[in-house]
Amino acid sequence: MKTKRMTMGQAVAAFLREQYVERDGRECPFFAGVWGIFGHGNVAGLGQALHQTPQLPYYLCRNEQAMVHTAVAFAKMKNRLSTFACTSSIGPGATNMLTGAALATINRLPVLLLPGDIFARRNVAPVLQQLESENTQDISVNDAFKPISRYWDRINRPDQLPFALAAAMQVLTSPAQTGAVTLALPQDVQTEAWDYPEALFEKRVWHIARPLADRALLKKAIEWIRAARKPLIVAGGGVHYADAWRALADLTEKTGIAVGETQAGKGSLPYNHPQQLGAVGVTGTIGANVMARDADLIIGIGTRYSDFTTASKTAFQNPDARFININVAEMDAFKHNALPLVSDARVTLEEFSQALDGYHVPAEYTEKVRGFQQQWESEVDRIYSCSSESELNQGNVIGLVNSLSEPRDVVVCAAGSMPGDLHKLWRTRDCKGYHMEYGYSCMGYEIAGGLGVKMADPSREVYVMVGDGSYQMMSSEIATSLQEGYKINIVLINNHGFGSIGGLSKAVGAQGFGTEYRFRNPNSHQLDGQFIPIDFAANAASYGAHVIKAANRAEFEKAMNESRQQTRTTVIVLDIDKEARVPGYESWWDVPVAEVSDVDTAKAAREEYARAVKRERFFF
């Protein structure tokens, strides 16, 4: 067996650059590069290795959490067929990645995390940033990654590496098991040399399979669909990851079955498709939620049925409703006591189409769908409308960005009330034109995520929509976008605090307490003084971004046109009327309210909650 003497860090870099994936005969490199910030825990190991391996590009970020967000957004835009590795030092650099790891695993998106770790040889312990334990020496802060990683390992000897890397790749490239993979690399072992088999560094192509559903269950599913008179498809993220858009359109056009989309599934059909009802669930449209309430058959495609999709288990009220779930993940396929088709979404939808010749929903169903679509288009037009000089609200801003952007442009968001409003209102014209991180709804994702989207497809304009709360958490990646020459457009809405939670606080009777950016009042001793005057335009300009202020529709339209002409990251800053909210439609979200209180508003909210929670259904 031929070998090559290398440090463990060098072996990692050499291995990563030779990993490829293939699906449907199309092959591409799996790792687009490595994001990182160097410290004493990785600079001499992986840092040195990357320095001598220019074939594997290195990207310097400003925050370790942000680099994971960028990698995850890139992977989402690439339909999980490509991602980045992320390296950090031991200590705070590693634990900064925990939030990103949780986000990746919850959203089922691949990312490889390579945090440095404490000395394996232990003789110099405790080293800088080491977590000590009285019960074991085999522990570090990296153990915190275990519950949020799909695969976790600590490489205490150089000869363990080949087997850990193979296991990591198996998980990263699995449509059913993917998420964050963490390989903790002790800083001394990173620099140790070993005679690695040269075969470890040969090109390896990982085939992404399209598994077929069980034949007996598929037959039963066809029988259920043929018997249904009020079916509804719930399209989740699995439609995108399986490249199943065309197959879904073909099936719906053939059968007339309407589609409601989850946050991850939005864009499965264009907004004006004849079977498109739009968003479903807590942030859903009137039509999708009424059809979900009455459906006798729900066909879930690549969805994990989060509480926003199911309206906290109140969405599906028909006592005779049955579920068919198409999902590569067995755990998700069995949810809601469904008929589980553990399979690839595209091939199963294609098989549905072939087997459903002659089936079509009743004429009254089709008319109902058409009526809901017309009703919803009128409602969106109403929310979008605004005069040239009047103060804008969030619905107006969404409408303006939507109408002034091109079909292939991408809108990016993650947290606050904006994702819900975008889910309802955004008219998606391209299957990849809507990018929402709502599995973890992570504040701070937006700008880093927008950078990842742009890196995945530089041909598209990217519009990051972000509130002032999220912006302040991670605006630093503006500098990274400028460093790398990837221009993104940031629409920064100033709510003077947490607009979404402020509204939720009022809904549960807490009157918006502690949700606004105000000075502490010396009289009340509460945070209810004047608003803190933060100059977001100056902040963004200090990073080197092009900055535009807008106060009304005319100014915002001008700003959008100016932003599009820029070649560097541009930030549009505007204040809005945050009290003008987009309503909910035929739906509810379970946020428990205090059972007893001295406050009248909380008492009233509890009474309403007690009535609403009775509609929740149990699925075993």
Q: Using the structure block, give the residue that is written with the tokens 């990016």.
A: 412
170-227 residue pLDDT tens? 999 999 999 999 999 999 999 999 999 999 999 999 999 999 999 999 999 999 999 9
Give the span between the Cα atoms of 361 and 296, in whole angstroms.
12
Nearest to 288 by CA among 303, 319, 313, 309: 309
Give the span between the Cα atoms of 97 and 596, in whole angstroms.
39
Give the span between the Cα atoms of 311 and 308, in whole angstroms.
5
pLDDT of residue 349: 98
Give the span between the Cα atoms of 3 and 547, in whole angstroms.
55
Give the span between the Cα atoms of 474 and 67, in whole angstroms.
11
Nearest to 67 by CA among 39, 40, 41, 103: 103
Q: Mean of the per-residue pLDDT values for the chain?
A: 96
Task: Reply yes or no on whether the pLDDT at 45 is more than 90.
Answer: yes
Residues sharing a CB contact under 8 Å with residue 203, sequence separation 6 or more, in sequence order? 18, 20
Q: Using the structure block, give the residue that is written with the tokens 């969106």.
A: 380
Helix, strand, coil shares of the chain, percent, nearest 5, are 40, 20, 40
pLDDT of residue 496: 87
Task: Reply yes or no on whether the pLDDT at 137 is more than 90.
Answer: yes
Task: Reply yes or no on whether the pLDDT at 85 is more than 90.
Answer: yes
Give the span between the Cα atoms of 555 and 295, in whole angstroms.
45
Give the span between the Cα atoms of 66 and 442, in whole angstroms.
11
Supply the DSSP string of 496-561, one letter for each residue.
SB-HHHHHHHHHTTSTTTT-B-BPPPTTT-SS-SSBP---HHHHHHHHT-EEEE--BHHHHHHHHH
pLDDT band at 505 (very low <50, low <70, confident <90, very high): confident
Fold of 3-207: Rossmann fold (3.40.50)
Find residue 518's DSSP bridge partners. Answer: 531
Give the span between the Cα atoms of 433 and 450, in whole angstroms.
12
Tokens of 258: 């309407």
Task: Reply yes or no on whether the pLDDT at 89 is more than 90.
Answer: yes
465-490 residue pLDDT tens? 999 999 999 999 999 999 999 999 99
Q: Report whether CATH 3.40.50.970 matches the domain 385-496+532-575.
A: yes
**Which carries the bigger pLDDT value, residue 504 or residue 39?**
39
Give the span between the Cα atoms of 468 and 476, in whole angstroms.
14
At residue 121, what are phi and psi to the nearest 5 degrees?
-80, -15
Give the span between the Cα atoms of 62 and 553, in whole angstroms.
34
| The two domains 215-375 and 385-496+532-575 share their CATH topology (first three levels equal) | yes
Mention the CATH class of domain 215-375. alpha beta
Tell me how far the alpha carbon of residue 454 is from its chain's centroid: 15
Residues sharing a CB contact under 8 Å with residue 104, sequence separation 6 or more, in sequence order? 68, 71, 72, 110, 111, 179, 180
Average pLDDT over residues 151-174: 98
536-586 residue pLDDT tens? 999 999 999 999 999 999 999 999 999 999 999 999 999 988 888 888 998
pLDDT of residue 208: 98
Break the chain into its structural domains and give their ranges. Answer: 3-207, 215-375, 385-496+532-575
pLDDT of residue 81: 98
Give the span between the Cα atoms of 413 and 177, in whole angstroms.
25
pLDDT of residue 502: 86
pLDDT of residue 374: 98
Give the span between the Cα atoms of 488 and 462, in whole angstroms.
5
Q: How far is CA 385 from CA 382, 396, 576, in A?
A: 5, 6, 15
3-state secondary structure (DSSP) of residue 481: helix
Beta strands of 254-373 (E only): which ranges?
A: 258-261, 276-279, 297-301, 322-327, 339-342
244-264 residue pLDDT tens? 999 999 999 999 999 999 999
Residues sharing a CB contact under 8 Å with residue 147, sequence separation 6 or more, in sequence order? none
Instruction: Mark residue 80 as left, alpha or beta (left: phi above 0; alpha: psi -120 to 50; beta: remaining).
Output: left
328-364: burial string, b at 16+ Cβ within 10 Å, e else: bbeebbebbebbbbbbbbbbbbbbbbeebeebebeee
Q: How far is CA 177 from CA 108, 131, 169, in A?
A: 7, 30, 11
Nearest to 539 by CA among 481, 484, 474, 464: 474
Question: What's the count of helices (H) and strands (E) in the chain, helices before strands?
Answer: 24, 23
419-457 residue pLDDT tens? 999 999 999 999 999 999 999 999 999 999 999 999 999
Tokens of 115: 């945090």
